[in-house]
Amino acid sequence: MACRISELVLGCRDPEALARFWCEVLDFVVLHREADGSLEIGPREGFGGPQPTIFLSCRDEPEQGKPRLHIDVNATDRDQDAELERLLKLGARPADIGQTGEESWHVLADPEGNEFCLLKARLNPL
């Protein structure tokens, strides 16, 4: 037996705003809201499917230091340039982490500054 990634946890100041962003990026929906404002987003099928959910944990202050984990995404229905344009319109912004400009991916930050990458390859939708 092996383990599967079931959910990713992301600390944030405004889970509702970040949920709107990531739901648009990933075509996810809000699955559950906690009393403290935290919430879980994921595919319409819910928790336990082929994709992990994202739990947006309400935090007053960001955790100290650079996160050691980030999310990579791939477009499913358009090329990388068109998807980059869409992500920027949703509120992503370019992030400089020392890239050379020769990379095949784009480094971006979500509205709260969490870095993620848009990879070049187009994947089939689930």
pLDDT tens for each residue of 106-121: 999 999 999 999 999 9
Residue 37 pLDDT exceeds 70: yes
Residues 40 and 79 in one domain: no
CATH for 75: 3.10.180.10
| Domains of the chain: total | 2
Residue closest to 42 by CA, chosen among 15, 65, 12, 22: 22
Under 8 Å between Cβ of 112 and 12: yes
Residues 34 and 79 in one domain: no
Residues 1 and 55 in one domain: yes
Residue closest to 106 by CA, chosen among 76, 69, 74: 74
Among 30, 60, 90, the domain boundary falls at 60
pLDDT of residue 62: 66
Please state whether the predicted TM-score (pTM) of the whole model is above 0.85: yes
Under 8 Å between Cβ of 42 and 54: yes
Residues 43 and 75 in one domain: no
User: What is the span of the domain harbouring residue 90?
Assistant: 69-126
- DSSP, collapsed to helix, strand or coil, labels residue 13 as coil
Two tokens, residue 73: 């995404």
